[in-house]
Structures are given as structure tokens and as C-alpha cells.
Amino acid sequence: MKILLQTFFFVLAYTSIAQNSNLEKSVLALKQKITQSEKGEKLKWMDSLSVLVKFNDEYNYDSIIRQTIKYALELDSLDIATRNTHELVYYKSVMVGKPEEGLKIFKEFVGKAEILTNNITKARLYMYGAYCYYAIGDIDESLKQLGIAKKLASKTTDKRLQADIDLNLGKYYGEIGDFVKSSNFIQQAIPIFIKFKDTSKIIGSKNALSILYSQNAFYEEAELERNEAISLAKKQKEQSSLYFLYFNAAQDYRLLGDHKKWIANMKLCLKANENSLYKLHFEPLILCNLIIALAESNNLKEAEEYFKTVENNLEKYSTGNNYNTYIETLKQMAFAKGNYPEALTYGKVHLDSVLKLDAFVEIMNAENFMAKVYNAQKDTENSLKHKIRYYTIKDSVATVQKVKALTFYQTLYETEKRDLKIEAQESSIALLASKNKIKNQWMLFGGLGLLLIFWIIFLIWSRSEARKRHQRQEQFTTQLVNIQEVERSRVAKELHDSVGQKLLVLKNILFQKEKDQQEEINVLDETIIEVREMSHSLHPFQFEKLGLVKSLGNMITAFQKNSEVFYSSEIEDISGLIPKEKEIVIFRMLQECIGNVEKHAEATACKLIVKQKKGDVVFRLKDNGKGFDVEKNSEKVDSLGMKTLKERANYLGAMLRIDSEAEKGTTVVIKISIA
């Protein structure tokens, strides 16, 4: 899924200047004018040249645009410098797949653009900077940069730019699972693209919706949206868009296990890319994925024919962003040929690589591959170890998809309800306007009076509806939290009672055999410990029986045993003061806070204090770590983890406060009223 989401990122590319037979002559003519002119006129010709050869590596685009930016800054022409810089950032992050270089350019230049009055150019700079952050996996920062871009764009009349930013916001919020915002932003963008007849962006929006469906495992709905986009792309001969659509379809069919359609769509993708503007950039990704599909489907002969192209140009197919796909290609080819030692070597490299990317679906597939290789080598112990990891991730992904599905249905419900309200309001206004045309002056005043009354009633009704929507949202949040805890509890129980017990049985069987089975017994012991740890982290053992107070004490004890930080606690007996369904939420919040101490605080001591004060119960977690300046480091307070804490606090109706100073530690206070 990660690959599918990353490929959609390229759909936002706008069309480059068309190639024509006179391009070479035009380039030479502009270069001659540049050498014969000075200052403002020279900059004008340099700017024209950078536009003419935009994204065209054959004419050394990178060097030309850098020289243009440098000369523009020398002449204090900030507008031209900024416009060319955001094009260079886009080129690096999207066209050549080097987001780190694009981000470096963005960071070095963004300060210079602050005094620029052209908000359109500034907004694009921040939007393309967000592309870079997204490409390296920093979604929080990419959303922050898009927020700045949206504010700048809102000050302009450029609706298409605003729609571009909304489409990106929709995509990024979908990435972090906020499907309400994701759907709303995409739906806001689509009418603008339709109004301006921007076919490329209409196709991109439909592709975004199909990805949103795929993220929630609604593959049939995704296929319908994608087929509409494919039909439109064929009519408009949008070859570049066809490449993205076929590629995403192939990834869906891979997840569904339909090898035939997976291969068919990868071949269509390869064919569409032949006439694409981005052929040279995306061919390695497409060809390697086609080889992987053929190898997994045991079409070894055809896979080897395509692999000859890769072998003839290894530098192109195995470097940069293409490295992971190349390694996956090697491992699948080795396995298909029956060369299991080589497949194992490449499998380990690929697994390490995807673990660093934190891509769950890719990790799941890599673990399953390792289990297959070890099984083919008759190494039952290692095969079992990877198989357990595979099923653990698979169960986790399935659970997440269930929660996502619930959220997504809520999104559809809210969107449809909003659209019906808008239609009803528009119909009422149109009816009143029609009647007013045939009335005299007295009737006009009467109609205005009725309209005023209607508007007052409408305002009252709208406020009432807003309150109801807020109540429904709170109920939905409650349901979502409960569903997550139920699923965590179920998975933990399955790991502890089912998988754990089966492993113990297997251990006993081995123990009863000869002593030379000791190595296998040790492996099983380690696996049993891992399963228990996963079980306890998913759901606190016997939480319902022990209650919040003892569970918190056990958690502090567990952290003390396994950490270099000195943990202590001072916990009063607050049993019965907080509703049972809220106790687990408080436990999760404190668990998250202690996890932050372990990861970020660099503390040597941490203390948890739980006390009853008047009509409240106060939870205070204080560490002596490095701390941070809350005002200057607002991004830490607004991070995804902190947002989760705030959402849980809102659900509880609790007060959440974070006090911290640099080098003076951090204190988190949670105060909840007694029921």
C-alpha cells in the first residue's frame, strides 16, 4: 500500500512544455540572446530558457535553472528566483525522486521568500516543500507546510491553486487515517477542476478517491472510480495519468492475490509509460514490479526476458529510490529459480530495508517471503518465527481496516447529509427568487419580511443541527475508542490463549524428545516471551480484574525492570471514583506518556503521582529529562502523538496540561472530575 500511496504523489505533476521539432533551434537562439545581453534583459532570456527546457534532462535542466535562480538573486528579482526555486524543488522531489535534495533547497531558500508579496508563488513554494517532507515520511511537517500554503493561497483569486492544495491535504489526511478530513478536502477540490475543465486534475482527484477506497479495503469501489478515470484518460490521451492508474490497480490486485490481473495491469502500465512524459523516470519502478509479478506467478521464462533489460543497465535500475524494488526483484527471481540460499540473502536485505520505512504491508509481505524460503530449506523453526510475525501484522492490519471502515462510512454519511442540506437551501432560495419577480412593491416588502423570518428560523435550526452533529461526533468517537479497545483485547487474548498455548504444547513435545532438541526449545522460549510481551502491550493483563490502580502499579514496575530510567510512584486508592469504561483510556494516556519519556526525554528518573483533590482525580507524571520550550517548540505539542492524547482527554472530559522547560524536565497533568 505504501508504494501505491507514493505513486499517487506523482499525479499532481502538471504538463511540461510540449516537445517539437524546433526545440533545438529555440534553445540555441535563447542561449545566444543570453550571451549578448545583460542584467534585466539577460535574466528574462534565462528565465525563458528554464521554462522551455523544464524537467528535460537532455538539455541539462538542473544546471540551467540553478544559474537562473543565482542570477535572479544577484539582481534582487525575488519573484523570478522564488518561482524557479519552487520548480527546482518540485523537480528534485517528484521528477527525479530525490526529496532530500529538494528539501535542502527549500530550507535554504524559504527564508528569502518571506518578504515576497506574490502569494501565488510563495504558496507553490510551500506546497512543493510539503511534497519533500511527505516523500521522506514526515507527514506532520508536510501538513504544516500545506497549512501555510493554504493560508497564502486563500489571499489570492487562484482557485485552481487552492484546489491543488486541498487535493494534497485530502491525500495526506488519508495517509494518517483521518478520512473525514480527507474526503472533505478532495470533494472541495473536484468542482473547481471541473469548472476549469482541468482533465488531468479531475483524473488525479478520481485516482485520489480510488486510493482512499483502497486504504479502507473497499476494492470494488476503488475499481469503479479508477475505471472512470482510465476511460477519461484514454479519451484525452493522458498517457502519464494512465500509467499511475494502471500501477495502482496492479497493487490492489496484488493485495487481493489475483496474479492474472496484477500482471495484466503492470503490462498496461508499461505500455502507457512508453508515451509518457516521465518515461525515463518511472520505467525502472514499472519494469521491476512487472518482473516481481511474473516471478511470483511462476512465469519465470517471461520474467527472465524482462530481467535482461535490468541487467544491461544496473545503474539505472538499482540506485536511489529504485534500490528496494530492485532487491525485491532479485529475491523473487532467485526463489522462482529454486536458488534458496540466494533468495534468503536478498530476502534479509529487503526485510531490513522495509523495516526502516515502517511500511506495514511491505513488512508483512517480506515476512511471509522469509517464511516461504525457510520452509523450502526445511528450516521449520525460522519459518515458524517469520510466519508468526506475518500473521501478527496481518491481524493488526485487518483490525485497523475494520476501524477505518467504520470511520469511512461515517464520512460518507456526513458528506451525503451535507450535500442534501445544500440542495435544499438552494431550492428554497430559487423558489423565493422566482416568486419575488411577479410581486409588486408591497408584496416585495412582505416577501422580504417572510424571508427574514425564515432566515431567523433557519439560524435557530442550524444551531440546533450543529449541536446535534457535535453530539453525534462525540458518540462516534466513543464508539471508535471502544472498538479499538475491544479489538486490542481480542488480539491480545488470541495471542495469549491460542498462539501462546500452542507454542507451549510444541515446547513440551520437543522437551519429551532427545536432548539435542534444546536449541529448538530455546527458540520456542524466546517466541513465547515475544508473544506474551505483544499480548501485554496490546491489552493490560487482567485489567478488568485488577482495576486501574493496580494496573498502573504493575506498569511502573514493568518499566522499572526493563529501563535505565528510575521509575517510582505514589498512587492513592481511587477505586470506584472513575467509570470503568474510562479507566482503560486513562491507562492508555499514561502508557503513551511514559513511552514518550523512554523515547525522547533522556531522563534518569520519572515519578507517577495519583491523588484525589476535592472533586477531581489528578494524575501527574514528572520526569527530570531535557524538556523543551513549549512556546518555541509548538510542533512537539501539536505532533500526532500529542493530538491523540488531546482527543482522548476530550473524550474523557478531562483537563490535559503539559508543563516543560529546557533542561528542567517535563510534567504531564491529567485531571478528571469524579463521577
Q: Where are the domains of the chain?
A: 396-536, 546-673
Q: Residue 579 — φ and ψ, nearest 5°?
A: -55, 145
Closest CA to 605 of 628, 581, 624, 579: 624
Give the per-residue pLDDT at 281: 76
Dihedral of CA atoms 563, 640, 402, 400 in degrees, nearest 10, equals -40
Cα–Cα distance between 470 and 457 in angstroms, integer? 20
Q: Identify the three-state secondary structure at position 566.
A: strand
Cα–Cα distance between 238 and 657 in angstroms, integer? 52
Taking 50 as the pLDDT cut, the residues of the chain under it are 1-20, 402-404, 406, 409-433, 476
Q: Identify the three-state secondary structure at position 646.
A: helix
User: Helix 340-357 and helix 360-376: axis angle, to 10°?
Assistant: 160
Contacts of 277 (CB under 8 A, 6+ apart): 15, 16, 55, 239, 240
Grid coordinates of 36: 549578448
Give the per-residue pLDDT at 474: 55
Q: Please write the tens of the pLDDT for every residue from 345-401.
A: 999 999 888 887 666 678 888 988 998 999 999 998 888 888 888 877 776 655 555
Q: Does domain 546-673 have CATH number 3.90.180.10?
A: no
Contacts of 408 (CB under 8 A, 6+ apart): 179, 183, 212, 216, 218
Contact (Cβ atoms closer than 8 angstroms) between residue 215 and residue 1: yes
Contact (Cβ atoms closer than 8 angstroms) between residue 370 and residue 331: no
Cα–Cα distance between 480 and 385 in angstroms, integer? 32
Q: Identify the three-state secondary structure at position 38.
A: coil
- Residue 221 to residues 186, 189, 218, 226, Cα–Cα distance (Å): 16, 20, 6, 9
- Residue 251 to residues 223, 292, 594, 619, Cα–Cα distance (Å): 12, 12, 38, 47
Contact (Cβ atoms closer than 8 angstroms) between residue 645 and residue 592: yes
User: Helix 518-538 and helix 500-511: axis angle, to 10°?
Assistant: 160
